[in-house]
Amino acid sequence: MSRSMSDWISFWDSKHSVYVSARHLDAHYRRVADDLLRYVPEGGAVLDYGCGEARAHGRIAAVAARLMLCDAAPGVRALLAEQFSTSEKIEVDTPEDIDALPGGEIDLIVMHSVSQYLSDAQFGRALSLFRRLLHPDGMLVLGDIIPPDVSPVTDATAMLRFAAQEGFLTAAIAGLARTAFSNYARLRSTLGLKQYSEPAMIEQLAEAGLKAERAARNIGHNPARMTFLARPQ
C-alpha cells in the first residue's frame, strides 16, 4: 500500500468533518443507495468496493441475493458488521477477501467516489480485479469520477445545494468552514485528487477489457461529476 493510500484510509477511518451532521450522513447514503438501485439485478450478486458506511444499503440487499461490502478501513468494517449483523444476505469483506474470490461470479460491481484517491497503478489493478470477477453479462458502475474542470468550489456549491434540499444548510455552511482547515483539505492539497476526462476514462476501461459509456447522470448529489457503466468485452 502506498503512503498516500494509507493516509486516505486513515482519514476515512477517523472522526472527520466531511459529513457535517447526522442528517447529512443519512441523506448522502440514502441518495447513493437510491441511485444505485436502478442498476441492481434482481437475485444477483453485488459487490460495493470502497463502500464506506453504506447506511442505506439494506435497500440494495432487498433486491440482490448477495451483497458484499468491502472497505479498506478497519473501523468502517466494524461499523458495517454491527449494522448488518442480522442480515443473511450482506457480508463485510476486506480487500484481501475480494482478491481471493473466484472469477466470473459477480453480476454488479460498484466503486463510488473511490477512484480519485487511487494512483494510476492502483486504479489499473482494481479494474483488472473487477474484470476478472465480473460475470460475462455483469456490469461495473464507477461513480463520482471528477472531470479536470471540476474544482473544490464546484464541489462545495453542489454540497450546499444538496444541503438546502435535505434540510441541513446551516450545518453545511459551518461544516465547509471547518473542512477548509481540516485534514481533508490538507490531504487534498498535498496528495491531490485524481481527475479524468470522459475519453480518458473510457480508454482506461477499454485497456482493462471493459467497454464503457458515461451514464446520463452521476450517482449521488454532485451533477458535475461523472458515472460510467462498463461491461466485459
Containing structural domain, residue 127: 3-232
Dihedral sign from CA coordinates of 180, 182, 184, 188: positive
CATH number at residue 57: 3.40.50.150
pLDDT at site 189: 67
What DSSP element (H or E) covers 24? helix 22-36
Average pLDDT, the chain: 93
pLDDT band at 178; cut points 50, 70, 90 = confident
pLDDT at site 68: 98
> What is the C-alpha to C-alpha distance for residues 3 and 224, in angstroms, rounded to an integer?
29
Total number of domains in the chain:
1
For 122-142, write each residue's pLDDT tens digit.
Answer: 999 999 999 999 999 999 999
Q: Which of 228, 214, 233 is nearest to 114 (CA)?
A: 228
For 199-223, write each residue's pLDDT tens digit.
Answer: 999 999 999 999 999 999 999 999 9
pLDDT band at 31; cut points 50, 70, 90 = very high
Q: Which residue in the block uniquely carries the three cell numbers 478501513?
A: 73
pLDDT at site 59: 97
For 53-111, write each residue's pLDDT tens digit.
Answer: 999 999 999 999 999 999 999 999 999 999 999 999 999 999 999 999 999 999 999 99
Q: What is the pTM of this model?
A: 0.92
In sequence order, what are the residues at sequence separation of 6 or more whose Cβ sits closer than 8 angstroms to the Cβ of residue 65? 43, 44, 45, 89
